[in-house]
Amino acid sequence: MAPKVYVDGQSGTAGLRLMDYLAVRDDIELLRIDEERRRDASERARLINASDITFLCLPDDASREAVAMLENPDTTVIDASTAFRTDPSWAYGLPELASGQREAIRASHRIANPGCHATAFILLTRPLVDAGLLPEDSLLSATSLTGYSGGGKQMIAQYEAADNSRLDSPRSYALGLEHKHLPEMSLHARLGHAPVFVPVVGSFLKGLTVSIPLHAAQLKDGTTTLDIVNAYKAHYDGEQFVRVMNADDDASNLDQGFFDVQGCNDTNRVDLFVFGNSQRMTLMARLDNLGKGAAGAAVQCMNIRLGIDESRGLDIER
């Protein structure tokens, strides 16, 4: 019998993208709620408890309320909000995080899907901390350039309005420096301090890159760009959704000297780059913020939990 899958919050941006992934699968039974009953708590509870897998694409408080509706001990919840990402009783849904993480996801009925900015930041930093190249007490800064789909339906409508030229230029936000992804970024990167993190939204639909500048003095003495690349290659050996780009091949990593933030769009892939020289370096990760940064990552976790091909229904190349 095919596993039953339900998406609570399927009308939001992440929910809609998740439904795109799931609707074409012939190995699951997709449970659907009638549009007029999508705010009916009793109907939502019925579907959640009838499912083998429930995805929550809801605000934090609504996700907590949905989890409280659970009565079926066999239902697995994959939550896309920030509500449970630092909760030790939930598996963090980033299989590439470290040895044993994939097994933790497979064994858990509660999986917290990572944030898009956090995914890129953690994939850049965790291997360097684990390899002893980046101290755990490092004081880092990071910038994320992301497409406007990350802001949800309202922001998409603003950017796609017929006459809205004031949105043509990139816009920094979360300038109180308390972005909601910070707790998971520091915890799962094994860093003692949250980074000074500034996200920037651009006038393109999707695509995201996180950049982390480093002075050589912030790293273990003698660390080179090649050392960092080799640490990434060792950490992500065999990972089909993480591609480590060669440090000595900058020309092929750029488009006439410019970085393409949308280079992973429509895939579940993350590309990792190291630019710079012996004194100053920039670490960069790019992904599709609606793919590996949201819905694609959730599907990957579902596949792991169900014990099927991890890449089923997901693209690596476009």
Q: Give me the tens of pLDDT residue by residue for the chain, a chain 318 residues long.
A: 899 999 999 878 888 999 999 999 999 999 999 888 888 899 999 999 999 999 999 999 999 999 999 999 999 999 999 999 999 999 999 999 999 999 999 999 999 999 999 999 999 999 999 999 999 999 999 999 999 998 888 888 888 886 777 788 899 999 999 999 999 999 999 999 999 999 999 999 999 999 999 999 999 999 999 999 999 999 999 999 999 998 655 666 788 888 999 999 999 999 999 999 989 999 999 999 999 999 999 999 999 999 999 999 998 776
- Residues 274, 283: contact at Cβ < 8 Å? yes
- Residues 65, 39: contact at Cβ < 8 Å? no
The pair of three-digit structure tokens given for residue 144, joined into one six-digit string: 């994320």
Please report the pLDDT score of residue 246 as a whole number. Answer: 80
Do 188 and 272 share a domain, yes or no?
A: yes
Please report the pLDDT score of residue 251 as a whole number. Answer: 64
Beta carbons within 10 angstroms of residue 224's beta carbon: 16
Please report the pLDDT score of residue 44 as a whole number. Answer: 96
Do 252 and 126 share a domain, yes or no?
A: yes
C-alpha dist (Å) from residue 145 to 12, 97, 121, 261, 307:
22, 22, 12, 8, 34
Please report the pLDDT score of residue 142 as a whole number. Answer: 98
Cα–Cα–Cα angle for 70, 76, 77, nearest 5°?
Answer: 70
Please report the pLDDT score of residue 264 as a whole number. Answer: 95
Token pair 């499912």: residue: 51
Please report the pLDDT score of residue 247 as a whole number. Answer: 67
Please report the pLDDT score of residue 271 as a whole number. Answer: 96
Nearest of 38, 46, 47, 49 to residue 12 by alpha carbon: 38
CATH code: domain of residue 122: 3.30.360.10
Long-range contacts of residues 99-102, Cβ cutoff 8 Å, at least 24 apart: 102/304
Do 55 and 147 share a domain, yes or no?
A: no
SS3 311: coil
Please report the pLDDT score of residue 289 as a whole number. Answer: 96
Domain-embedded: residue 89: yes
Distance separating alpha carbons of residues 297 and 223, to the nearest angstrom: 32
Catalytic residues: 116
Longest dimension (CA), the chain: 62
Do 91 and 147 share a domain, yes or no?
A: no
Do 188 and 240 share a domain, yes or no?
A: yes
Please report the pLDDT score of residue 275 as a whole number. Answer: 93
- Residues 149, 290: contact at Cβ < 8 Å? yes
The pair of three-digit structure tokens given for residue 284, joined into one six-digit string: 């960069």
The pair of three-digit structure tokens given for residue 188, joined into one six-digit string: 């799962």
Do 33 and 71 share a domain, yes or no?
A: yes
The pair of three-digit structure tokens given for residue 307, joined into one six-digit string: 């014990």
Beta sheet of 91-92, edge-to-edge order: 29-31, 4-8, 53-56, 76-79, 110-112, 91-92
Do 186 and 207 share a domain, yes or no?
A: yes
Do 222 and 264 share a domain, yes or no?
A: yes
Q: Which domain holds residue 53?
A: 4-114+293-306
Domain-embedded: residue 311: no
Distance separating alpha carbons of residues 315 and 152, to the nearest angstrom: 23
Nearest of 32, 158, 23, 10 to residue 80 by alpha carbon: 10
Distance separating alpha carbons of residues 315 and 267, to the nearest angstrom: 5
Do 206 and 87 share a domain, yes or no?
A: no
Q: Which residues contact 242 (CB under 8 A, 6 or more apart)?
A: 96, 123, 236, 269, 270, 272
Do 100 and 188 share a domain, yes or no?
A: no
Domain-embedded: residue 207: yes
Please report the pLDDT score of residue 163 as a whole number. Answer: 72
User: CA quadruple 143, 145, 148, 150: dihedral positive or negative?
Assistant: negative
How many independent structural domains does the chain possess? 2
